């Protein structure tokens, strides 16, 4: 009789533990589902990322933050273009950042155009890179990065591809906001 009582209590205890476990895990899943933010559709995320990029490009660069491009050396101007490309490209290593704004692109273009370069080919390369940027077209950024990188004798950090809008928006938020 005692043996049956102990076996019965063991079965009851096991059922109780199984019920509590089932309730706990089901309730836990329901709570986790309710607490998790809804994932935005990919199209909405891309639209938001493109808006961040567009706003970054169109923002006015404060005068106290505008680099003095006209007084920079050729090497400093090359490095500025290189740093700007980092916002647009995927590369294993990136050293240097410079946010791309319309104001900066226009000022950089004018400074390079008006500077007397020792190597006219270098001046031509930089102007060719920047010309479409004035209109917000950065489709040449991978080629531009690698051309400047090669000119600087780079051996680590060759650009592989353009960043996705989400990757670029994250880069902007991390480095400039």
Q: Count CB neighbours of 94 within 10 A.
A: 18
Residue 31's pLDDT is: 42
Residue 4's pLDDT is: 53
Which run of H or E residues covers position 17? helix 2-35
4 & 47 share domain = no
Measured distance CA(153)–CA(150) in Å, rounded: 5
104 & 152 share domain = yes
85 & 159 share domain = yes
CA distances from 19 to 7, 23, 122, 176 (A): 18, 6, 75, 53
Residue 26's pLDDT is: 54
32 & 51 share domain = no
Can you give the pTM of this predicted structure?
A: 0.76
148 & 126 share domain = yes
10 & 61 share domain = no
68 & 136 share domain = yes
7 & 82 share domain = no
Question: Which residues constitute the domain of residue 77?
Answer: 42-176
103 & 22 share domain = no
Listed as ranges, residues in the chain with pLDDT below 70 are 1-38
24 & 64 share domain = no
Residue 35's pLDDT is: 54
49 & 19 share domain = no
Number of domains in the chain: 2
77 & 31 share domain = no
């Amino acid at each position: 009789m005692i043996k049956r009582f102990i076996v019965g209590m063991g079965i009851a205890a096991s059922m109780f533990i199984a019920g509590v476990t089932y309730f706990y895990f089901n309730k836990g899943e329901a709570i986790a589902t309710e607490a998790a933010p809804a994932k935005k559709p990919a199209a909405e995320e891309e639209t938001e990322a493109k808006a961040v990029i567009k706003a970054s490009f169109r923002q006015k660069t404060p005068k106290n933050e505008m680099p003095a491009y006209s007084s920079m050396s050729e090497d400093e101007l090359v490095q500025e273009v290189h740093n700007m490309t980092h916002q647009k490209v995927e590369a294993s290593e990136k050293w240097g950042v410079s946010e791309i704004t319309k104001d900066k692109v226009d000022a950089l273009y004018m400074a390079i155009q008006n500077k007397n370069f020792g190597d006219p080919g270098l001046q031509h390369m930089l102007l060719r890179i920047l010309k479409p940027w004035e209109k917000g077209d950065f489709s040449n950024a991978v080629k531009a990065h690698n051309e400047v990188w090669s000119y600087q004798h780079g051996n680590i950090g060759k650009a592989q591809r353009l960043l996705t809008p989400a990757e670029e928006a994250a880069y902007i938020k991390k480095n400039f906001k």
